[in-house]
Amino acid sequence: MEITFMVALVIALALFFDFTNGFHDTANAMATPIATGAIKPKTAVALAAVLNLVGAFLSTEVAKTVSGGIIKEGSDGIQITPDIIFAGLMGAILWNMITWLKGLPSSSSHALFGGLIGAAIAGIGIHSVNFESLMQKVILPAIFAPLIAAGVAYICTRLAYALTSRHDPETGSKLTQKRGGFRTGQIFTSSLVALAHGTNDAQKTMGIITLVLIAAGTQQPGSGPQFWVIAACAFAIAIGTYAGGWRIIRTMGSGLTDVKPAQGFAAESSTASAILASSHLGFALSTTQVASGSVIGSGLGRKGTSVRWGTAGRIAIGWLFTLPAAGIVGALTALLVKTGVVGVLIAAVAGTSAVLFMFFQSRKSHVGHHNAVEVEEAGQAVRFRKKKAMAASRANKSKGVQ
């Protein structure tokens, strides 16, 4: 009876984590098209929710990595228990809520892995973690994926502006640049990111639920997620996406760099490509890190655009601390639940109280679709020198050369 209760509790907690993952990562797909005015905020999150739902049904490779790759389980490995998984989820959820409250686009994926690893080490031992799989499937993608995405976005942005640049053939002076097509194209690319997000992030919760079913002995080790698990996780992340992570949308959409449509198009294309490739290979990628890297790369790719490195630094610190911070909370929770039913109840009450406290704190400075991004102004917010000043600068340089 106790095992059945713990399994039900973990499944419910996992689906809540999936919900937080949805509203935490809405910005990955929709921040830049909202910022450039390509799509209205409410329409954007509704579209993202539907595509997250669809994407969750397209692949299960990442779910298999989570359920049978990071923590050893089964007859040939460590028999992880539902209470350890419960502790890991608690660490992931609390870190997700903290970073959401602060508006930091940290990695829900790394919060999940950190919480699970911390709980497993505290509750079972360090030998329970498959460090080879952790390095290959989590750590290395976390290092290289944002850098690759930033590089691709930078190149795409430079190409986009170079190919659409218009000059008078006689005088050589710049003509009005017609790049409105990129704003329309953003609807497609942001939709592709939302679809890709569903193929990667929803699967992590599928993997957790599959892991707890294996731990409880109701599913064979090494098997993939059942259909009802896939469907439940798909709907949970879709509902969370529709709820909208407006705080993080504000940071991603206008906090990193002032985004123009061509930049947004390049960033989203880069993000979607990286996530879809990683999902196919079974890499449990941080979609937030990839999206942030793409936005920064696109910012560097446009001449005259400034990237706010202070904001980028805050995000990088969030990335750096996510795994260990969630791991510490997961470990402390694991030590508590090892004491028995009373410990589980104390952890559940404390965790619920912390989540409610952070939710009510967020209401004091509410961020919604009306103020997440200044949609009308964001597209014009890039600061360039005045044409006269630029002409004078060119003239001075020319005199200096002569």
Does the pLDDT of residue 26 top 70, yes or no? no
Give the three-state DSSP class for 71.
strand
| DSSP code per residue over 151-214 | HHHHHHHHHHHHHH--B-TTT-PBPPP--HHHHHHHHHHHHHHHHHHHHHHHHHHHHHHHHHHH
- From CA 344, how far away is CA 186, in angstroms rounded? 46
The whole-angstrom separation of Cα 201 and Cα 189 is 18
Give tens-digit pLDDT for 228-275: 999 998 899 888 877 765 555 555 445 545 667 777 788 888 888 888
User: Residue 24: which pLDDT band, with cuts at 50, 70 and 90?
Assistant: low
Highest mean pLDDT among 43-57, 162-176, 378-392: 43-57
93 or 31, higher pLDDT: 93
C-alpha count within 13 angstroms, C-beta hemisphere, residue 54? 12
Q: Per-residue confidence at 395, pLDDT binned at 50, 70, 90? A: low
* pLDDT per position as a tens digit, 276-330: 887 777 776 777 778 778 878 888 887 776 767 776 777 777 778 888 988 999 9
Higher pLDDT, 66 or 111: 111
From CA 253, how far away is CA 328, in angstroms rounded? 31
Give the residue carrying structure tokens 């984590």. Answer: 17
Chain centre to alpha carbon of residue 132: 24
Reported as a pLDDT band with limits 50, 70 and 90, residue 401 is: very low
Considering the entire predicted model, what is its pTM? 0.72
Q: What DSSP letter does each residue of 269-295 carry, written as one string? A: HHHHHHHHHHHHHT----HHHHHHHHH
Angle at 159 between CA 372 and CA 149, to 5 degrees: 55
Amino acid at 332: L
Which three-class secondary structure state does DSSP give residue 346? helix
- Beta-bridge partner residues of 174: 167
Closest to 31 measured CA to CA, from 262, 197, 190: 190
- With cut-offs at 50, 70 and 90, classify the pLDDT of residue 331: very high
Phi, psi for 71 (deg, rounded to 5): -105, 130
Q: What angle do CA 377, 193, 152 make, to 5 degrees?
A: 85
Q: What residues are paired with 71 via a beta bridge?
A: 129
Phi-psi region of 81 (alpha: psi -120 to 50; beta: other; left: phi over 0): beta
Residue whose token pair is 């597209």: 379
CB burial of residue 91 (10 Å; 0-12, 13-18, 19+): buried
Between CA 299 and CA 191 the distance in angstroms is 21
pLDDT tens by residue, 336-385? 988 888 888 898 899 899 888 887 887 776 554 444 443 233 223 233 34
Is residue 167 classed as helix, strand or coil in its secondary structure? strand
**How does the average pLDDT of the chain come out, rounded?**
75
Q: Is residue 71 scored above 80 in pLDDT?
A: no
- Contact between 274 and 149 under an 8 Å Cβ cutoff? The reply is yes
Average pLDDT over residues 168-180: 59
Task: Give the pLDDT confidence score for residue 232 in this predicted structure.
Answer: 92
**Spatial contact of 57 and 152, defined as CB atoms under 8 Å apart:** no
Angstrom distance (rounded) from CA 231 to CA 149: 30
pLDDT of res. 215? 79
Helix then strand then coil, % of the chain, to nearest 5: 75, 0, 20
8 A C-beta contact, residue 319 and residue 105: no
Query: Which is more confident, 71 or 150?
Result: 150
What's the CA gap between 93 and 15, in Å, rounded? 11
Question: For residue 75, what is the DSSP state?
Answer: T
